[in-house]
């Protein structure tokens, strides 16, 4: 396989369609997951309530939820005889977004919770002593843990765009409609079209590299006073 043939594959209309669909589905799912997951993670970190440990345990458990299980449950719900069958979402991009949305919520919630509970208690006490109300305190804590929350969103996006099992089940891998990067790689590999499969693999790896490069740059940018030898206060007991 020559570099020229790879370049031609990158300009292929089908590959462009597959790539755009993958980004649209994954970005939509992660955006919706962030809208729910970040507030849930903040609530778990800042609010004490009965059963909190159980909720945290379930959240951590669902972070490793098998995608094929999500796909199976959604398939049963979205099929004609299923509870959500009248919506006719099966084998559409909306079903793929729903599957990735369900998988992204526990990842964003769990990692956001971990980032927020790591905020130094002295910072919280200092904000309270200066008269910060509840809304201002929440904003301060989220702002302090923004890099960790961003990492949660990036992790959810990475898991979403590289997922294959759930979207294969509920999307059906239909050409020009629900064929994503991962499902297309599986298909083209099984049919012996390795040039196209490799091209899609390069796109997927490049996406992962760029996303993590951006995260690394932001982590370096917001690292507090690292050049001045500043050490953030440790958590108090």
Q: Which CATH number belongs to the domain containing residue 34 in this structure?
A: 1.10.3720.10
Residue 232: inside a domain: no
Considering only 33-37, 92-96, 163-167, 216-220, which range has the smallest mean pLDDT?
A: 216-220
Global confidence as pTM: 0.84
Percent over 90 (pLDDT), the chain: 44
Residue 124: inside a domain: yes
What is the domain extent for residue 35?
A: 3-223
pLDDT tier for residue 129 given thresholds of 50, 70 and 90? confident
* SS3 per residue for the chain: CCHHHHHHHHCCHHHHHHHHHHHHHHHHHHHHHHHHHHHHHHHHHHCCCCCHHHHHHHHHHHCCCCHHHHHHHHHHHHCCCCCCHHHCCCCCHHHHHHHHHHHHHHHHHHHHHHHHHCCCHHHHHHHHHCCCCHHHHHHHHHHHCHHHHHHHHHHHHHHHHCCCHHHHHHHCCCCCCCCCHHHHHHHHHHCCCHHHHHHHHHHHHHHHHHHHHHHHHHHHHCCCCHHHCCCCCCCCC
Residue 119: inside a domain: yes
Residue 110: inside a domain: yes
What is the pLDDT averaged over residues 94-98? 95
Residue 228: inside a domain: no
Number of domains in the chain: 1
Residue 233: inside a domain: no
How confident is the prediction for the chain on average, in pLDDT? 84
Residue 234: inside a domain: no
pLDDT at 229: 43
């Amino acid at each position: 396989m020559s570099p020229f043939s790879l370049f031609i594959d990158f300009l292929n209309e089908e590959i462009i369609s597959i790539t755009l669909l993958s980004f649209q589905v994954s970005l939509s799912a992660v955006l919706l997951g962030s809208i729910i997951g970040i507030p849930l993670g903040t609530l778990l970190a800042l609010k004490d309530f009965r059963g909190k440990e159980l909720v945290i345990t379930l959240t951590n458990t669902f972070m490793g939820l098998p995608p094929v299980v999500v796909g199976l449950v959604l398939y049963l719900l979205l099929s004609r005889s299923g509870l959500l069958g009248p919506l006719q979402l099966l084998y559409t991009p909306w079903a793929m977004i729903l599957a990735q949305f369900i998988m992204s919520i526990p990842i964003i919630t769990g990692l956001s919770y971990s980032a927020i509970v790591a905020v130094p208690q002295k910072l919280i006490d200092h904000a309270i002593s200066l008269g910060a109300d509840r809304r201002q305190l929440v904003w301060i804590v989220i702002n302090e843990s923004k890099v960790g929350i961003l990492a949660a969103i990036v992790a959810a996006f990475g898991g979403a765009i590289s997922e294959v099992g759930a979207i294969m089940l509920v999307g059906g891998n239909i050409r020009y409609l629900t064929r994503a990067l991962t499902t297309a790689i599986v298909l083209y590999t099984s049919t012996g079209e390795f040039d196209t499969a490799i091209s899609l693999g390069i796109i997927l790896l490049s996406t992962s590299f760029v996303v993590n490069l951006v995260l690394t740059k932001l982590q370096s940018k917001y690292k507090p006073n690292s050049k001045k030898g500043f050490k953030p206060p440790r958590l108090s007991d």
